[in-house]
Amino acid sequence: MLHVALWEPEIPPNTGNIARLCAATGTRLHLIGRLGFRLDDRSLRRAGLDYWEAVDLVRHITFEEFERLFVSTRLVGATDDTPLPGDRTNREAKPAVPLVPGATGQGRIGCPPRIWCVETSGERLYTQARFHDGDCLLFGSESRGLPPGVREKYAPTLIGIPMPTRKVRSLNLATAVGIVLYEALRQLHNW
């Protein structure tokens, strides 16, 4: 299972569209921090249509709470230097438990799923990332993006979506989530 996390989303229709996307793909949705709307907001419900019951939604009051969920349930025996499939090293895989409740832990053998930060400033393209089961795609708020401290902490997994004309500052949040989520799903399912 993949995870999509939204840091302080502000626009109800964006979150509603992302929730609908998550329901359609079996992706868990995490909402983090102060929201720019109420979860019972009419426009949020309208954007998600009648799919809200199918959304696997987890609400986190702080980023630290969200992070603790991932850190406290990391895969046993995994280290940051554990090789990815295709690496030319030949290390023995260690037993694993899921990173997040509901994750299968069948991504990188013996490795914890990662938090991928998707930002306009990400120099590494999302198509260059190698996604694995249990990974989380983290997106910032529509007007501010992710906090600088989060971008710095997760710099090795900071990725971006190219905008060749450079005539716009950023893509719509729901559009960006759809682009990256479907690339991750394509990789996981060999589509």
Q: What angle do CA 172, 154, 129 make, to 5 degrees?
A: 65
Could you report the per-residue pLDDT of 117-139, keeping only the tens digit for each? Answer: 999 888 899 999 999 999 999 99
The CATH number for 44's domain is: 3.40.1280.10
Q: Which residue in 70, 160, 77 sits closest to 115, CA to CA?
A: 70
| pLDDT mean across residues, the chain | 80
Domain count, the chain: 1
Q: Which residue in 146, 126, 129 sits closest to 138, CA to CA?
A: 146
pTM metric for this prediction = 0.79
Domain extent at residue 57: 3-189
Q: How far apart are CA 128 and CA 39, in angstroms?
A: 34
Residue 75 tokens, joined? 């895969």
Could you report the per-residue pLDDT of 14-36, keeping only the tens digit for each? Answer: 999 999 999 999 999 999 999 99
Q: What is residue 116's three-state secondary structure? A: strand
